[in-house]
Structure formats: C-alpha cells, structure tokens
Amino acid sequence: MLIDSHAHLELEDFDEDREQVIERARQAGVEVIVSVGINLADSHRAVEIAEKYEPVYAAVGIHPHDVKEIGPETYDVLGELARREKVVAYGEIGLDFFRGHAPREMQIRRFGEQLEVAQSLDLPVIIHDRMAHRETMAMLKGWKGRKRGIVHCFSGDYAMASQCIDLGFYISIPATVTYPKALEIRDVVRRVPLNALLVETDAPFLPPQSLRGKRNEPAYVVRAAEKIAEIKGISTAEVASGTSRNARAVFALH
C-alpha cells in the first residue's frame, strides 16, 4: 500500500469526479492521500474533503503564490482549521521565485511567520521551494522551532537533500522522476536512503511521463514508486512499505 503525501483534491480539477478519483487510487493500492491547501478557501475545502472521505487527510496553509492574501485574521482561521481531527500538517508554505506572484521580501516574511504558526500548532510543515534553494535553506536552518516535515516535490541536488535530512525533513519524490531529463532528481533518489523518502503526485499537476499533458491523480503515485524501485534496484513493494512508513511517522498516522 502507498501513501500519496501531497495532492490537491480540493481543486476544481476534481469537482466532476472526485469520488471516482479516490476510488481509483484505492484500487491502485493507495491507502492514504494528503490533500494540501494552498490558500484559505482551498484549505477549508481540503479539510471538508478529508472529513468526507476516510482515506483523505488534509494540510492547511498559504502557498507562496498567495501570501498577498494574508490578512489580520488569516492565521487565526488557519489555526482553527488545523485543530480539526484530520489535519496532519501545515502547508504548503515556502518560497517560489520562478513565478513571482508575490515580492520576494514578502514571501520570505510570510514564510517565517508560517513556520512559527506551525510550531505553535505542533504540526509538521510541508515546504514548497522553487528556484529559491539558497533562501529556503537559510530560512529552515535559522528557524528555532522543532524542525520536522517534508520538502515537497524536491528539486535540489544531493547536497541540498542531505542538508534537509540532517535538519529533520523528508524528501518527497513526485512523478517528475520519470521524466527523461530528470537526471538530478534520479541521482538524489539513488543516493538518499529509503528511510528519508516519501512519494507524491502533486495532482492534478506533474503527471508521469507516460501521461504528460493529462491530469495527474493520486492513483499514479505508483509510477513514482516504480521508478524509485528501478533506480534503487529494489522491489516496488519495498518502496511502498518504506515510504508509507515514513509518511505515517511524519504525519502521525496510526
């Protein structure tokens, strides 16, 4: 059985067939899906979906694209949501200097604030880092809180992965590992021990190579697991068992 540690079932991409998507995931051997909020409204929806469907859990937070929306009451509302039974993490939060939807200085400030919110809620964090490796690592190293969580959709090199692991973070591998040009992430997978890895889809984004151009969904997390198994020279069952054990540890799923 697999755990999709990062999907976005709350997005409108799944409004027409969300229940069928969850059922297809179950049939593919996915026992848990973590639906991750990216703004206040979607965090609400992620929690509602988690409460409706047994295999789904939720994370709440404000994505770096949306930090301009943070107002005086945002963190209080997120705090209330985070105390719901099926919320297992705070995120996704972090830095994204690729799209530039918010000024860098604002992203950094809000990232720091949200790390403190997560600490106050005693939740692991889900980190978004795109084209901001140096700044992300500086923030995580400088954070005085209890360092635990996931660097989602990891896009750094092995040296960065090692630093993240040393700080207390898991490295989450999406189906981009199947892309022909994804040499660096395959090197990370090859060298990082299985006990530090998770798998994810980031659905509806980042489908595996065989489905490029189509909507991704949690059932396809098995493609990432299969590729990891191929790279490491172990069985897919070993990858499923190991990454699921890791996910259960970081999300406190029992």
**pTM above the 0.85 mark?**
yes
Q: Provide mean pLDDT across the span 124-133.
A: 97
Mean of the per-residue pLDDT values of the chain: 97
Lookup: tokens for 237: 């069952």
Give the pLDDT score at 99: 84
Which domains does the chain carry?
2-251 (3.20.20.140)
Query: Is 90:58 a contact under the CB 8 Å cutoff?
Result: no
**Torsion (CA) 151, 238, 59, 81 in degrees, nearest 10:** -140
Residue 194 neighbours by CB distance under 10 Å: 17
Q: What angle do the packed helices 236-251 and 221-232 form, to 10 degrees?
A: 120
Pairing of strands 197-199, 2-7: unpaired
Q: Is the pLDDT of residue 65 over 90?
A: yes
136-183: per-residue pLDDT in tens? 999 999 999 889 999 999 999 999 999 999 999 999 999 999 999 999
Considering all CA atoms of the chain, what is the largest pairwise distance in Å, rounded to the nearest integer? 51
| 85 CB burial (10 A radius; 0-12, 13-18, 19+) | exposed
Give the pLDDT score at 191: 98
- What percentage of the chain reaches a pLDDT higher than 70? 100
- DSSP-derived letter for residue 215 is -
